[in-house]
Structure 1
Amino acid sequence: MTEPNTPRTLKTVTTATEVIDALATLDSAGVTALADHLGLSKSTTYTHLQTLESAGLVTKHGTDYQLSYKFLQLGEYVKHRSLLYQVGKPEVDRLADDIGQYCHLVSEENGRGVNLYKIRGETAVGDEYQAAKLQHRDRLHMTAAGKAILSALERERVEEIIETHGLPRWTEHTITDPDELFETLSEIRERGYAYNDEEEIEGLRAVGAPICDREGLVLGALSVSGPTSFLKGGTFRQAIPERIVSAANVIEVNINMSKQSDKLAGDQ
């Protein structure tokens, strides 16, 4: 029985999304393997695959099915309609040119971090890992951009995210205690930027700053990541934070100016 405040959903659509997620996990799969993975009957799995194939979302190669390039087109559409991406990309490019490390533009959705854009600086390392991150959503509590975003959210929203996604440990430096996290978020709000000190990967550090609109709504965050051999001493503690905060402020100003331009255009 459906709970009173639970929104109605269509089971067929829910199952179709599960099929899509499974194909993304398995890369490609035949009907039997996919049915076993999902715990569905082969006939149900086949029907959903046929429906998704007719919609152009799935393609068949031999006996295996995989996601189609239509998702790439849809993803590009979603990305390019984002004002944060439109305005933030040029500044992220400049930051990568100046610093030479990986620079990231991140937004939050459903309690996880989404990498809208990232670019490799000339001396950056970890290409394979950084490419993989574009295909997954980040845990907010262990990345610099994620903690910067959390610091700009209401406490109740952060508590909801912790309740939903937990605080899993990835390294010995990962914050896994809610009280410690809230204390860290308070420090981030006070100084204006966040650190990731080997909390996601040992040997990797990052600095991030939130990006908010004029009403204080957090839109996302900007960050720079690099090996501890580069992000150390004054570079990690002062030079990069100052550059990150400045870049985030430029993006905020440009976003606000873009919104004001739209208002002026509509006021003619």
Structure 2
Amino acid sequence: MTLTPDGRSGRTIRSVQIAFNIIETLQERDRIGVTELADELGHSKSTVHSHLQTLEERKIIVRDGDGYRLSLRILDMAADVRDQVGNYDVIQDEVEALAAETGEIAQFGLEEHGQVSYLYKATGERAVVTASQVGMQQPMYSTSLGKTILAYLPPERTEEIVRNTEFEQITSQTITGPEELYDELEEISERGYGIDDEENIEGLRCVAAPVRNEETILGAVSITGPSSRFTDDRIHDELPEYVTRAANVIELNTKFS
């Protein structure tokens, strides 16, 4: 019996876990051989080889020289996942427009497994380089996207996520406990936008606005930039207007689609 990241318990199958560990390692390493993969994962070569053969037969991976890599079928699967999100084209257009208008990084995220998952990212002409990328998951409590989503989720879902969160001091500014987080969620719901004040990466600040429909929150849209440009005045005046405007356009298109 294991506990999932969002607090749900259930049985897990060891062979499936091994298969996904192989896939995640191939994602990180691009290409890797059987012996190296077995050593890295702590399994026998025969076990790893059997899983590789199965994944290759299912066209999830391909043999590449003396190693293996992920196949292009992953791209097809990713496209299907993306298309399952309502109004993806509108989200893409608005995030791109937000990045072009501000010159910064613009992103759209939604909640999965108690974390914020990045659905789309666009880079403006003045944007700084960050590690976030589409498909990546990050903590809810240390990101403007995550905290904004938490503030507008149904209370029982927010409580479930917070209850099962292991708080880590990522920077000196990071929220480190439920009480502090709930205080900030209350502020976000009152003012209508969330802030990451160098809580996830030192030197970077973010502002996010919720994207809602009549029943729940769909996700959030944000802009990210260096603290030298994201001053206190801008972060509480000018910048929230940008993300709120983008969120409203996505909401309207969702409502009338």
What TM-score comes out, normalization by structure 2 length?
Answer: 0.89
Larger displacement relative to structure 2 (165-174 or 198-207): 165-174
Given that 1:113 and 1:138 are in contact with CA atoms closer than 8 Å, whether structure 2 keeps it comes out as: yes
Residues 85, 105 of structure 1: 8 Å contact kept: no
CA change 1:6–1:159 in 2 (3 A) is closer
- Name the counterpart of 2:211: 211
Is 1:116 the counterpart of 2:115? The answer is no
Displacement of 1:8 in angstroms is 5.5
Specify every segment of 5 or more residues in structure 1 that has no aligned partner in the other structure, as ranges. 259-268
Partner of 1:16, secondary structure, is helix
Which range moves more in the overlay, 190-199 or 241-250?
241-250
> Offset of 1:243 from its aligned partner?
2.1
1:223 maps to 222
Who is 2:243 aligned against? 244
User: Once structures 1 and 2 are overlaid, which stretch shifts more, 158-167 or 138-147?
Assistant: 158-167
Is the CA contact (8 Å cut-off) linking 2:198 and 2:205 kept in structure 1?
yes
User: Are the aligned partners of 2:87 and 2:253 in contact in 1 as well (CA < 8 Å)?
Assistant: no
Offset at residue 40 of structure 1 (A): 2.0
Q: CA RMSD, aligned part only? A: 2.1
- Find the aligned partners of 1:66 and 1:10 in 2 and give their Cα distance: 24
How many angstroms apart in 2 are the aligned matches of 1:166 and 1:154? 21
Q: Which amino acid aligns with 1:244?
A: V
SS for the counterpart of 1:83 is: coil
Q: How many residues align?
A: 252
- 1:80-229 aligned at under 5 Å gives the runs 80-126=83-129, 129-130=130-131, 132-134=132-134, 136-215=136-215, 217-229=216-228
In structure 1, give the amino acid aligned to 2:103: G
* 1:254 aligned partner: 253
1:61 aligns with 2:64: yes
Equivalence map 1:2-81=2 (5 Å) = 10-81=13-84
| CA displacement 1:228-249 (0-9 Å, x = unmatched) | 1211132211111122112212
1:106 and 1:214, CA in 2 relative to 1: closer, same or farther beyond 3 A? same
Query: For residue 32 of structure 2, what is the amino acid of its counterpart?
Result: A
How much has 1:94 moved relative to structure 2? 1.9
Return the alpha-carbon distance in structure 2 between the equivalents of residues 41 and 153 of structure 1.
44
Superposed CA deviations along residues 148-194 of structure 1, whole A, max 9, x for unmatched, are 11111234323432344412121100111110001100110111100
The C-alpha deviation readout for 1:101-123, integer Å capped at 9, x for no partner, is 11101111111111111111122
Q: Is the 8 A contact 1:208 1:221 kept in 2?
A: yes
**Structure 1 residue identity aligned to 2:204:** L
Match of 2:5 in 1: none
Residue 234 of structure 2 aligns to a residue whose secondary structure is helix
Structure 2 spans left out of the alignment, 5+ residues: 3-7
* Alpha-carbon distance, 1:77 to partner: 2.2
- In terms of fraction of residues, the more helix-rich structure is 1
The answer (yes or no) to whether the contact 1:31–1:46 under 8 Å persists in 2 is: yes
**In the alignment, residue 232 of structure 1 is paired with which amino acid?**
T
- Cα deviation digits, residues 212-256 of structure 1 (max 9, x gap): 1111x1111000001112111322111111221122122111101
- Report the Cα distance in structure 1 between the residues aligned to 2:35 and 2:164, rounded to whole angstroms: 32
Whole-Å Cα distance in 2 between the matches of residues 253 and 247 of structure 1? Answer: 10
Contact 2:115 2:138 in 1 (8 A): yes
Per-residue deviation, 1:11: 4.0
Measure the CA separation in 2 of the matches of 1:154 and 1:148: 12
